[in-house]
């Protein structure tokens, strides 16, 4: 049907309705010509009125529809734009204005592409051009640059009915885009995690795994999904641990810890497992997420570190740290049970000689063998530890009759240690000295128990080694006195209780006195004279030796300066310097600086050291000896012949004097075998341009024999007792 046909139908309809209305008004249709004309006129008039009314109704409906379209266009939740072929905005709705955050007047006439991010601008231009060229509707996404913000929009382009304008619809999808990015990021993280991730449902069926799960367990994703957790359970996993995990998840919803799991191939490994529960809206378990990773290597490394921290690397026995822990545990158990604990200190006799003779490598071999021998002598409940170089300790706890079992174990140890040790192509013979202290009889504190066993061990050594000695009440008294003297010694200098005494050294050929050995003398206010043999070891242990040594040196240096000025004789004084003085020298005033300060030359002082010091000399000791020699201080080697000093050490340290130990001088007669020893020492020393001093000269015969052998100097009770500074001053330069 054409448009004209439609119009004809409408006119016919209006004509029919007009005639019906005129007929209803009782206006006759036939009659005179006038009546007929009047009737026709009335019908036509009614027809026109109806057409006008229809027109008015149509216009009203059109207006209403236009207003409704405008409202829909303006307030639609989608941003709408109308653009021409150049992309210029002709119309925009309120949502578009809001989206672009720009006034309508600014947008109209501006290009839509000006609001698009530069990287996406060509995309919009391309689709707009294609739209007007081909008329095909298209949808795509792009980014807009709105002020300082960048937003993502979904765009739909289509032509209007005229084909002259483009209709543009935009929806802000920035939040959706962000969600997509987050989801992709989460998925990427999930897939790239080095930790295995596994999600199970409320029935503990696996519903999701990541690639790391496959790498760790060997199960592919399709093999694991739908399977129960039991496929990962290891045979050595304890039921108790599984019950603990279930209980913790029930109470807190979380659990983390170390477990043993099984791979697909059956290999079991240690892993660190963390479990988190996810609940639904009703608070019921929905899922559980587990993350885990292999800690087998770390656990092995931790075990190695723990072993290194607690066990001796050479012998494999517990070290000092683990010993402290074991003895503490042993004392607690013993105290609860009302029994006793024995601590045995075992020190290998003459081990230093083995090291010096065979070398440290074979010395270590002896220690390993000794540890093995002693380990076979003890009970399974005992702890044997190595706490120092050649020092071992044995803890025997919860003893009902301690003396019997201690005696039995100790005798076995003494017996096996007396057998020769094969070291390379030779054999070494050592023994062991054992000191015992009992808890709680001898001490209730760990430190005291250790010290008591140590004291008992030293008594065993003094009694001839290779024996057992118990801590006694007399030893306790000695320890109490030692502690008391240690406290008193700290105040001795301030109380002016210390003085220097001098043992004259006689020139065996002229009888003159130019030298002396200076020693500390302690006159305690209430205890009287305290021998140096008693308080010097205390000073060494308490690190007071440096302070005492400096005091003696400063006092003697002042006296020598005065004597040299008074008598015009180059007097020399020997001062013992103990190994601990070298080790704790950082707190002492340098001797060279002091001598320079008072104007006394270094040759006025002789420093006496022991063979042990030379044998164990480290970089620090060598440096200090070099400094002393550098200012002219002389070096004297005390007790020569009792150790195994290589002659090269005498030359390396430029020793000036050798002191023959009194063990070789005592009992010296013409037919004594000691003559050969003394003569050999003297000849050797003189060959190296070293002077010789004989200690402990008690008889004139000893002095004469030594002088005949060429010994340079003598010292001992034959010549003089220890003298005060004033008494010694009267002997300077005079023959005795």
The CATH number linked to 112 is 3.30.450.20
Residue 208 has pLDDT above 50, yes or no: yes
Q: Are residues 445 and 365 in the same domain?
A: yes
DSSP H or E segment with residue 636: strand 634-640
Beta bridge partners of 634: 606
Q: Are residues 142 and 215 in the same domain?
A: no
Q: Are residues 690 and 611 in the same domain?
A: yes
Q: Are residues 544 and 671 in the same domain?
A: yes
Residue 456 has pLDDT above 70, yes or no: yes
Would you state the pLDDT for residue 348? 94
Residue 710 within any structural domain of the chain: yes
Would you state the pLDDT for residue 587? 47
685-733, pLDDT tens digit by residue?
A: 999 999 999 999 999 999 999 999 999 999 999 999 999 999 999 998 7
Would you state the pLDDT for residue 79? 87
Distance, CA of 578 to CA of 609 (rounded, Å): 7
Percentage of residues in the chain having pLDDT higher than 90: 36
Residue 343 has pLDDT above 90, yes or no: yes
CA angle 639–642–646, rounded 5-degree value: 95
Would you state the pLDDT for residue 182? 58
Would you state the pLDDT for residue 645? 58
Would you state the pLDDT for residue 691? 96
CB-based burial label for 375 (10 Å; 0-12, 13-18, 19+): middle
Would you state the pLDDT for residue 281? 83
Q: Are residues 92 and 57 in the same domain?
A: no
DSSP H or E segment with residue 681: helix 674-687
Distance, CA of 215 to CA of 217 (rounded, Å): 6
32-50, pLDDT tens digit by residue?
A: 776 667 667 666 676 677 7
Q: Which residue has the higher pLDDT, 50 or 114?
A: 114
Which residues form the domain of 135? 76-179
Residue 735 within any structural domain of the chain: no
Which segment, 243-247, 492-496, 713-717, is predicted with the most confidence on average?
713-717
**CA contacts within 13 A on the Cβ side of 283:** 2
Q: Which residue has the higher pLDDT, 450 or 540?
A: 450
Residue 116 within any structural domain of the chain: yes
Paired tokens of 7:
């119009």
The residue out of 149, 179, 209 marking a domain boundary is 179
Strands 468-470 and 138-146: unpaired
Residue 476 within any structural domain of the chain: no
Q: Which residue has the higher pLDDT, 734 or 321?
A: 321
Would you state the pLDDT for residue 552? 93
Residue 518 within any structural domain of the chain: yes
Residue 220 within any structural domain of the chain: yes
3-38, pLDDT tens digit by residue?
A: 566 666 666 676 676 666 666 655 555 567 766 676
Average pLDDT on 565-590 reads: 80
Would you state the pLDDT for residue 695? 93
Residue 268 within any structural domain of the chain: yes
Residue 185 has pLDDT above 80, yes or no: no
Distance, CA of 633 to CA of 602 (rounded, Å): 4
- Residue 115 DSSP code: G
Would you state the pLDDT for residue 446? 92
CATH number of the domain encompassing residue 545: 3.20.20.450
89-101, pLDDT tens digit by residue?
A: 998 888 888 888 8
Closest CA to 721 of 456, 471, 553, 501: 501
Q: Are residues 289 and 356 in the same domain?
A: no
Q: Poorest-confidence range of 105-119, 182-196, 572-586, 604-618?
A: 182-196
640-673, pLDDT tens digit by residue?
A: 766 555 577 787 788 999 999 888 898 888 888 8
Paired tokens of 244:
């603990």
Distance, CA of 447 to CA of 509 (rounded, Å): 55
Cα 76 to its chain centre, rounded Å, is 65
Q: Are residues 416 and 321 in the same domain?
A: yes
Cα 320 to its chain centre, rounded Å, is 20
The residue out of 151, 179, 207 marking a domain boundary is 179
Residue 554 within any structural domain of the chain: yes
Is cis: bond before 421, omega within 30 of 0?
Answer: no
585-638, pLDDT tens digit by residue?
A: 554 558 888 999 999 999 999 999 987 777 766 777 888 888 888 899 999 998
CATH number of the domain encompassing residue 454: 3.30.70.270
Q: Are residues 533 and 679 in the same domain?
A: yes
Locate all alpha helices (DSSP H) within 206-319, ordered by sequence. Answer: 211-217, 221-224, 239-252, 296-310
250-302, pLDDT tens digit by residue?
A: 889 899 888 888 899 988 888 888 888 888 888 888 888 888 888 888 887 77
Distance, CA of 726 to CA of 500 (rounded, Å): 11
Q: Are residues 451 and 555 in the same domain?
A: no
Q: Are residues 316 and 216 in the same domain?
A: no
Percentage of residues in the chain having pLDDT higher than 70: 85
E runs forming strands in 415-543 = 421-423, 426-428, 431-439, 468-470, 498-507, 513-524, 528-530
The residue out of 471, 506, 534 marking a domain boundary is 471
Kindly state the greatest CA–CA separation across the chain.
Answer: 197
Closest CA to 299 of 258, 263, 249, 354: 258
Sign of the torsion angle spanned by Cα atoms 69, 72, 74, 77 = negative
Q: Are residues 567 and 714 in the same domain?
A: yes
pLDDT confidence tier of residue 59, bands split at 50, 70 and 90: low
Total tally of structural domains belonging to the chain: 5
Q: Are residues 467 and 584 in the same domain?
A: no
């Amino acid at each position: 049907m054409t448009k004209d046909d439609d119009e004809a139908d409408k006119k016919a309809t209006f004509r029919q309705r007009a005639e019906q209305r005129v007929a209803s008004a009782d206006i006759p249709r036939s009659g005179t010509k006038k009546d007929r004309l009047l009737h026709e006129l009335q019908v036509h008039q009614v027809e026109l009125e109806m057409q006008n009314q229809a027109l008015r109704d149509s216009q009203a409906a059109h207006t209403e529809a236009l207003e409704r379209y405008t409202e829909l266009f303006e307030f639609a939740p989608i941003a709408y734009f109308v653009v021409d072929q150049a992309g210029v905005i002709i119309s925009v709705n309120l949502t578009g204005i809001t989206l672009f955050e720009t006034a309508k007047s600014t947008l109209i006439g501006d290009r839509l592409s000006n609001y698009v991010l530069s990287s996406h601008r060509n995309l919009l231009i391309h689709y707009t051009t294609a739209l007007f060229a081909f008329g095909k509707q298209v949808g795509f996404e792009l980014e807009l640059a709105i002020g300082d913000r960048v937003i993502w929009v979904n765009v739909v382009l289509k032509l209007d009915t005229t084909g002259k304008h483009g209709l543009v619809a935009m929806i802000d999808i920035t939040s959706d885009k962000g969600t997509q990015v987050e989801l992709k990021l989460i998925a990427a993280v999930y897939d790239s995690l080095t930790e295995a991730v596994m999600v199970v449902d409320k029935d503990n069926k696996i519903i999701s795994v990541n690639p790391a799960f496959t790498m760790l367990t060997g199960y592919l994703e399709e093999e694991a999904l739908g399977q129960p957790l039991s496929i990962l359970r290891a045979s050595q996993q304890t039921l108790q641990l599984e019950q603990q995990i279930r209980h913790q998840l029930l109470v807190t919803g979380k659990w983390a810890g170390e477990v043993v799991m099984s791979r697909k191939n059956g290999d079991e490994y240690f892993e660190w497992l963390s479990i988190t529960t996810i609940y639904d809206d009703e608070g019921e378990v929905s899922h559980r997420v587990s993350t885990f990773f292999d800690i087998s290597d770390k656990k092995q490394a931790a075990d190695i570190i723990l072993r290194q921290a607690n066990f001796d690397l050479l012998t494999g026995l517990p070290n000092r740290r683990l010993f402290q822990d074991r003895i503490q545990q042993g004392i607690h158990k013993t105290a609860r049970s009302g029994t006793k604990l024995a601590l045995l200190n075992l020190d290998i006799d003459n081990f230093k000689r083995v090291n010096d003779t065979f070398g440290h490598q074979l010395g270590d071999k002896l220690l390993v063998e000794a540890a093995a021998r002693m380990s076979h002598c003890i009970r399974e409940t005992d702890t044997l530890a190595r706490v120092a170089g050649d020092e071992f300790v044995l803890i025997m706890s919860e003893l009902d009759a301690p003396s019997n079992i201690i005696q039995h174990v100790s005798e076995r140890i003494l017996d096996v240690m007396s057998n020769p040790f094969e070291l390379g192509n030779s054999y070494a013979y050592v023994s062991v000295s054992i000191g015992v202290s009992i808890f709680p009889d001898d001490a209730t504190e760990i430190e005291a128990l250790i010290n008591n066993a140590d004291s008992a061990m030293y008594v065993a050594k003094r009694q001839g080694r290779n024996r057992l000695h118990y801590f006694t009440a007399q030893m306790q008294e000695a320890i109490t006195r030692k502690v008391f003297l240690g406290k008193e010694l700290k105040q001795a200098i301030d109380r002016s209780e210390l003085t220097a005494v001098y043992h004259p050294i006689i020139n065996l050929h002229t009888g003159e006195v130019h030298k002396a050995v200076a020693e500390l003398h302690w006159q305690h206010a209430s205890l009287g004279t305290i021998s140096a043999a008693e308080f010097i070891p205390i000073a060494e242990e308490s690190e007071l030796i440096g302070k005492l040594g400096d005091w003696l040196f400063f006092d003697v240096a002042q006296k020598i300066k005065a004597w040299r000025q008074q008598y015009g004789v180059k007097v020399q004084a020997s001062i013992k310097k103990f190994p601990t003085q070298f080790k704790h020298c950082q707190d002492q005033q340098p001797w060279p600086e002091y001598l320079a300060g008072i104007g006394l030359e270094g040759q006025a002082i002789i420093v006496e050291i022991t063979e042990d010091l030379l044998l164990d000399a480290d970089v620090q000791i060598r440096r200090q000896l070099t400094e002393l020699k550098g200012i002219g201080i002389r070096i004297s080697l005390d007790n020569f012949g009792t150790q195994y000093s290589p002659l090269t050490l005498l030359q390396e340290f430029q020793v000036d004097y050798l002191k023959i130990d009194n063990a070789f001088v005592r009992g010296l007669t013409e037919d004594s075998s000691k003559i050969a020893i003394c003569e050999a020492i003297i000849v050797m020393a003189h060959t190296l341009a070293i002077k010789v001093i004989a200690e402990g000269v008690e008889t004139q015969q000893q002095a004469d024999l030594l002088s005949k052998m060429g010994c340079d100097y003598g010292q001992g009770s034959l010549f003089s007792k220890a003298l005060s500074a004033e008494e010694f001053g009267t002997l300077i330069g005079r023959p005795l």
